[in-house]
Copies of this chain bind each other. A is one copy, B any other.
Amino acid sequence: MYSKKPNPNQTTVSKRETILDAAAELFLKEGYGAASINKLIDRIGGSKATVYGYFYSKERLFESIVESIVEEIPDFINGAQLMDLELREGLMAASQRLLKIATSPRHLALARIVIAETDRFPEIGKIYYERAPQHICEVLTAFIQQCAMRGGFEIAHPRETVESFTGMVLHHQLFRQLCVNPTPPTDREIHQLAARNTNMLLAMLSIKSNAGKDPKRK
Protein backbone atom coordinates (compact mmCIF):
# COMPACT_ATOMS: atom_id res chain seq x y z
CA MET A 1 0.00 0.00 0.00
CA TYR A 2 1.21 3.43 -0.87
CA SER A 3 1.83 5.53 2.22
CA LYS A 4 2.31 9.18 1.29
CA LYS A 5 -0.99 10.92 1.80
CA PRO A 6 -2.22 13.17 -0.96
CA ASN A 7 -3.27 16.72 -0.48
CA PRO A 8 -6.59 17.01 1.33
CA ASN A 9 -6.94 20.78 1.06
CA GLN A 10 -8.67 22.92 -1.51
CA THR A 11 -6.04 24.33 -3.76
CA THR A 12 -4.75 21.09 -5.18
CA VAL A 13 -7.94 19.09 -5.06
CA SER A 14 -7.90 19.76 -8.77
CA LYS A 15 -5.23 17.08 -9.11
CA ARG A 16 -7.61 14.42 -7.91
CA GLU A 17 -10.26 15.70 -10.27
CA THR A 18 -7.84 15.77 -13.15
CA ILE A 19 -6.96 12.15 -12.58
CA LEU A 20 -10.58 11.17 -12.13
CA ASP A 21 -11.71 12.91 -15.31
CA ALA A 22 -8.97 11.49 -17.44
CA ALA A 23 -9.48 8.05 -15.96
CA ALA A 24 -13.20 8.24 -16.64
CA GLU A 25 -12.56 9.06 -20.26
CA LEU A 26 -10.03 6.26 -20.55
CA PHE A 27 -12.06 3.57 -18.81
CA LEU A 28 -15.21 4.46 -20.70
CA LYS A 29 -13.35 4.23 -23.97
CA GLU A 30 -11.36 1.07 -23.36
CA GLY A 31 -13.16 -0.86 -20.67
CA TYR A 32 -11.76 -1.93 -17.33
CA GLY A 33 -9.37 -4.60 -18.55
CA ALA A 34 -7.81 -2.68 -21.41
CA ALA A 35 -7.41 0.55 -19.50
CA SER A 36 -4.16 0.74 -17.55
CA ILE A 37 -2.49 3.09 -15.14
CA ASN A 38 0.33 3.62 -17.60
CA LYS A 39 -2.07 4.73 -20.30
CA LEU A 40 -3.65 7.00 -17.75
CA ILE A 41 -0.45 8.82 -16.86
CA ASP A 42 0.52 8.93 -20.52
CA ARG A 43 -2.56 11.08 -20.97
CA ILE A 44 -2.11 13.47 -18.09
CA GLY A 45 1.54 13.25 -17.17
CA GLY A 46 2.62 12.98 -13.57
CA SER A 47 3.46 9.92 -11.61
CA LYS A 48 1.78 6.64 -10.90
CA ALA A 49 2.54 7.23 -7.24
CA THR A 50 0.18 10.20 -7.22
CA VAL A 51 -2.60 8.10 -8.68
CA TYR A 52 -2.08 5.43 -6.05
CA GLY A 53 -1.87 8.11 -3.42
CA TYR A 54 -5.41 9.14 -4.22
CA PHE A 55 -7.02 5.88 -5.27
CA TYR A 56 -5.08 3.02 -3.63
CA SER A 57 -5.72 0.49 -6.40
CA LYS A 58 -7.06 0.14 -9.90
CA GLU A 59 -10.21 -1.45 -8.56
CA ARG A 60 -10.93 1.39 -6.19
CA LEU A 61 -10.13 3.91 -8.89
CA PHE A 62 -12.64 2.20 -11.13
CA GLU A 63 -15.36 2.30 -8.50
CA SER A 64 -14.70 5.98 -7.92
CA ILE A 65 -14.95 6.61 -11.63
CA VAL A 66 -18.28 4.91 -12.01
CA GLU A 67 -19.68 6.67 -8.98
CA SER A 68 -18.64 10.03 -10.34
CA ILE A 69 -20.09 9.36 -13.77
CA VAL A 70 -23.34 8.09 -12.38
CA GLU A 71 -23.64 11.23 -10.31
CA GLU A 72 -23.22 13.32 -13.39
CA ILE A 73 -26.28 11.80 -15.08
CA PRO A 74 -28.67 14.71 -15.26
CA ASP A 75 -31.99 14.45 -13.53
CA PHE A 76 -33.78 13.06 -16.48
CA ILE A 77 -36.48 15.66 -16.19
CA ASN A 78 -37.01 18.18 -13.50
CA GLY A 79 -39.51 16.47 -11.28
CA ALA A 80 -41.42 19.57 -10.27
CA GLN A 81 -41.60 20.77 -13.84
CA LEU A 82 -42.94 17.41 -14.95
CA MET A 83 -45.65 17.48 -12.36
CA ASP A 84 -47.12 20.64 -13.85
CA LEU A 85 -47.80 19.04 -17.20
CA GLU A 86 -50.82 17.23 -18.52
CA LEU A 87 -50.50 13.50 -19.04
CA ARG A 88 -49.74 13.58 -22.74
CA GLU A 89 -47.31 16.48 -22.53
CA GLY A 90 -45.58 14.92 -19.57
CA LEU A 91 -45.13 11.60 -21.30
CA MET A 92 -43.86 13.30 -24.42
CA ALA A 93 -41.38 15.44 -22.55
CA ALA A 94 -40.18 12.58 -20.38
CA SER A 95 -39.73 10.09 -23.19
CA GLN A 96 -37.89 12.55 -25.38
CA ARG A 97 -35.54 13.52 -22.60
CA LEU A 98 -35.08 9.90 -21.70
CA LEU A 99 -34.15 8.98 -25.24
CA LYS A 100 -31.82 11.91 -25.54
CA ILE A 101 -29.90 11.00 -22.41
CA ALA A 102 -29.91 7.23 -22.73
CA THR A 103 -28.68 7.20 -26.31
CA SER A 104 -25.86 9.66 -25.71
CA PRO A 105 -22.39 8.22 -26.28
CA ARG A 106 -21.38 8.81 -22.70
CA HIS A 107 -24.33 6.99 -21.21
CA LEU A 108 -23.91 4.18 -23.69
CA ALA A 109 -20.30 3.73 -22.66
CA LEU A 110 -21.31 3.80 -19.02
CA ALA A 111 -24.01 1.19 -19.51
CA ARG A 112 -21.54 -0.96 -21.43
CA ILE A 113 -18.93 -0.96 -18.72
CA VAL A 114 -21.44 -1.41 -15.91
CA ILE A 115 -23.05 -4.37 -17.65
CA ALA A 116 -19.65 -5.85 -18.39
CA GLU A 117 -18.14 -5.51 -14.92
CA THR A 118 -21.10 -5.88 -12.62
CA ASP A 119 -20.09 -9.42 -11.75
CA ARG A 120 -16.69 -8.36 -10.45
CA PHE A 121 -17.98 -5.06 -9.02
CA PRO A 122 -21.51 -5.56 -7.74
CA GLU A 123 -21.57 -2.11 -6.21
CA ILE A 124 -21.38 -0.29 -9.50
CA GLY A 125 -24.36 -2.15 -10.90
CA LYS A 126 -26.41 -1.23 -7.89
CA ILE A 127 -25.36 2.41 -7.94
CA TYR A 128 -26.12 2.76 -11.63
CA TYR A 129 -29.40 0.92 -11.48
CA GLU A 130 -30.76 2.95 -8.61
CA ARG A 131 -29.68 6.24 -10.01
CA ALA A 132 -30.83 5.70 -13.57
CA PRO A 133 -33.62 3.22 -14.43
CA GLN A 134 -35.05 2.89 -10.97
CA HIS A 135 -35.08 6.59 -10.21
CA ILE A 136 -36.72 7.35 -13.51
CA CYS A 137 -39.41 4.77 -12.94
CA GLU A 138 -40.19 6.25 -9.57
CA VAL A 139 -40.53 9.78 -10.87
CA LEU A 140 -42.67 8.68 -13.79
CA THR A 141 -44.86 6.52 -11.61
CA ALA A 142 -45.56 9.42 -9.30
CA PHE A 143 -46.40 11.53 -12.32
CA ILE A 144 -48.93 9.21 -13.91
CA GLN A 145 -50.55 8.54 -10.59
CA GLN A 146 -51.01 12.22 -10.04
CA CYS A 147 -52.50 12.54 -13.52
CA ALA A 148 -54.86 9.68 -12.78
CA MET A 149 -56.00 11.30 -9.58
CA ARG A 150 -56.53 14.63 -11.26
CA GLY A 151 -58.33 13.02 -14.17
CA GLY A 152 -60.56 10.87 -12.02
CA PHE A 153 -59.46 7.51 -13.38
CA GLU A 154 -57.42 4.70 -11.96
CA ILE A 155 -54.29 2.93 -13.10
CA ALA A 156 -54.27 -0.66 -11.97
CA HIS A 157 -50.52 -1.27 -11.84
CA PRO A 158 -48.81 2.07 -12.21
CA ARG A 159 -45.28 0.87 -11.58
CA GLU A 160 -45.49 -1.97 -14.07
CA THR A 161 -47.14 0.33 -16.58
CA VAL A 162 -44.24 2.73 -16.34
CA GLU A 163 -41.74 -0.08 -16.69
CA SER A 164 -43.46 -1.14 -19.88
CA PHE A 165 -43.48 2.44 -21.08
CA THR A 166 -39.78 3.07 -20.60
CA GLY A 167 -39.08 -0.28 -22.18
CA MET A 168 -41.08 0.42 -25.28
CA VAL A 169 -39.48 3.83 -25.63
CA LEU A 170 -35.89 2.80 -25.04
CA HIS A 171 -35.27 -0.87 -25.55
CA HIS A 172 -34.84 -1.24 -29.25
CA GLN A 173 -32.80 1.92 -29.70
CA LEU A 174 -30.56 1.04 -26.82
CA PHE A 175 -29.88 -2.49 -27.92
CA ARG A 176 -29.22 -1.47 -31.46
CA GLN A 177 -26.66 1.02 -30.28
CA LEU A 178 -25.12 -1.31 -27.75
CA CYS A 179 -24.71 -4.15 -30.22
CA VAL A 180 -24.29 -2.87 -33.67
CA ASN A 181 -24.62 0.79 -34.50
CA PRO A 182 -23.76 3.40 -31.92
CA THR A 183 -25.25 6.28 -33.90
CA PRO A 184 -27.85 7.97 -31.69
CA PRO A 185 -31.24 8.73 -33.18
CA THR A 186 -31.86 12.18 -34.62
CA ASP A 187 -34.12 14.62 -32.84
CA ARG A 188 -36.76 13.86 -35.41
CA GLU A 189 -36.54 10.13 -34.73
CA ILE A 190 -36.66 10.82 -31.03
CA HIS A 191 -39.79 12.85 -31.49
CA GLN A 192 -41.44 10.12 -33.53
CA LEU A 193 -40.54 7.42 -31.04
CA ALA A 194 -41.83 9.51 -28.19
CA ALA A 195 -45.06 10.35 -29.97
CA ARG A 196 -45.79 6.79 -31.06
CA ASN A 197 -45.18 5.31 -27.68
CA THR A 198 -46.99 8.05 -25.84
CA ASN A 199 -50.01 7.40 -28.04
CA MET A 200 -49.71 3.74 -27.31
CA LEU A 201 -49.70 4.24 -23.59
CA LEU A 202 -52.59 6.69 -23.73
CA ALA A 203 -54.56 4.23 -25.79
CA MET A 204 -54.01 1.58 -23.24
CA LEU A 205 -54.90 3.82 -20.33
CA SER A 206 -58.08 5.09 -21.94
CA ILE A 207 -59.26 1.56 -22.67
CA LYS A 208 -58.68 0.64 -19.09
CA SER A 209 -60.48 3.68 -17.75
CA ASN A 210 -63.32 3.49 -20.30
CA ALA A 211 -63.89 -0.16 -19.70
CA GLY A 212 -63.97 0.46 -15.98
CA LYS A 213 -62.65 -2.96 -15.31
CA ASP A 214 -59.68 -4.41 -17.09
CA PRO A 215 -60.37 -6.69 -20.05
CA LYS A 216 -59.05 -9.63 -18.09
CA ARG A 217 -57.17 -12.35 -19.88
CA LYS A 218 -59.25 -14.97 -21.54
Contact = CB atoms under 8 A, between A and B. Distances in A.
Contacts of A172: 133, 137, 163-164, 166-167
Given A180-B118, A196-B160, A88 B171 contact: no
Contacts of A176: 129, 133
A218 interface: yes
A70 to B, nearest CB: 11
A116 B118 contact: no
Contact of A167 (B169, B195, B207, B214): B169
Interface in A159-205: 160-161, 163-172, 174-176, 178-180, 195-200, 202-204
Contact residues of A: prevailing secondary structure: helix
Given A200-B204, A208-B203, A125 B167 contact: no
Contact of A88 (B120, B196, B197, B218): B218
A128 interface: yes
Interface string A128-147: 11000100010000000000
Interface string A26-48: 00000111100000000000000
Contact of A199 (B174, B197, B214): B214
17 contacts: A31-B33, A115-B116, A115-B178, A118-B178, A122-B180, A129-B176, A133-B172, A133-B179, A163-B168, A164-B169, A164-B172, A167-B168, A199-B215, A199-B217, A200-B204, A203-B215, A207-B207
